Chain A
């Protein structure tokens, strides 16, 4: 099972992005997962919880958008969605095709977070310590 490796990569990218924006709590991580990504959704959800422990993502939800395979059919001159990943042929005319338009995605789309920081954002003094927000 390589979903744990995948989950650690995912958490690394997402938590770095969150840290760089000063986000301290993430609620949802949105992921696009193609049917040809080689990743099993349930295994990834399980691994995600483990990988997120002790990071800004701990307790967040991994929202997975599953994407079916879309191929381009040269006979129909059209993109066609496949019902599965066992038969790479146009579902309309039957032409075999391996021209993948969609389905390999394994992409972090976005983070949802609730920003508890009062606005305007806290001042930072030149030495880097966080000051009180102005009243």
Chain B
């Protein structure tokens, strides 16, 4: 009796990231049940993400909201320590060289937190515009940062990430003139890869975050408690 060596086919039809996607969906359901609005912040290194987050946390607190953040970091603890100055609970996710956050990492770092007591949870993703694009974290909104110092054509160089954005923040707008930033060109590039995506301008160092904060409050369906602070 001879061996049967016919080539055979086994159908699989499964997404490579189906495990992450499933976990992200579980997280999304958990966040929805706790009524916490979760923001996944993505950018290149040097786009001012940590400064933006620090000021965002402080000002949202000043507006009467309960906020917290998870910070994905390749190396040092500096970002987390800096952010802790905002007074918000901060946890660091050390990625051990991994260039993106995954849903499992987020889930593992939520333990012990009362999500229902929070209005906003920010997840600062690892600083790059490629890898985080593939991983759903269960966020309510994915925000991609583009600083005026990075070049207006950046969205065309990283179309996958900008395409996946629910919102684009133009950061460091206070430097727009000094860097001869062409706002129209940047908007054209953003909308080429993601037609209709909302774009909001910020200057975190100057405390100019109002449009961004108001948008967050609207999307989260929470009201500003105290009219004080900010500007």
Contact = CB atoms under 8 A, between A and B. Distances in A.
Interface of A: 1-2, 5-6, 9-10, 13-14, 17-18, 21, 23, 27, 31, 36-39, 85-89, 96-98, 106-119, 135
A96 B15 contact: no
- Interchain residue pairs A-B with the least CB separation, the first 9: A96-B195, A2-B131, A38-B133, A38-B134, A111-B10, A38-B160, A85-B159, A108-B12, A106-B16
B13 A113 contact: no
B7 interface: yes
B98 interface: yes
B76 interface: no
B226 interface: no
B7 A88 contact: no
Task: Give the size range of B's interface with the partner.
Answer: 35 or more
Interface stretch (B77-85, B106-114, B186-194, B200-208): B186-194
Interface of B: 1-20, 98-100, 102, 130-131, 133-134, 156, 159-161, 163, 191-197
Contact of A114 (B2, B7, B15, B161): B7
A107 B163 contact: no
Contacts of A106: 15-17, 134
A8 to B, nearest CB: 10
Contact of B14 (A85, A87, A107, A116): A107
Nearest to B130: A38
A134 B98 CA distance: 51
A11 B44 CA distance: 29
26 contacts: A2-B98, A5-B100, A6-B16, A10-B16, A13-B12, A13-B14, A14-B12, A85-B193, A86-B159, A89-B195, A96-B191, A97-B195, A98-B194, A106-B15, A107-B16, A108-B12, A109-B12, A110-B9, A112-B9, A112-B10, A113-B7, A115-B8, A116-B3, A118-B1, A118-B3, A119-B4
Contacts of B195: 88-89, 96-98
A86 B15 contact: no
Contact of A115 (B1, B4, B13, B192): B4
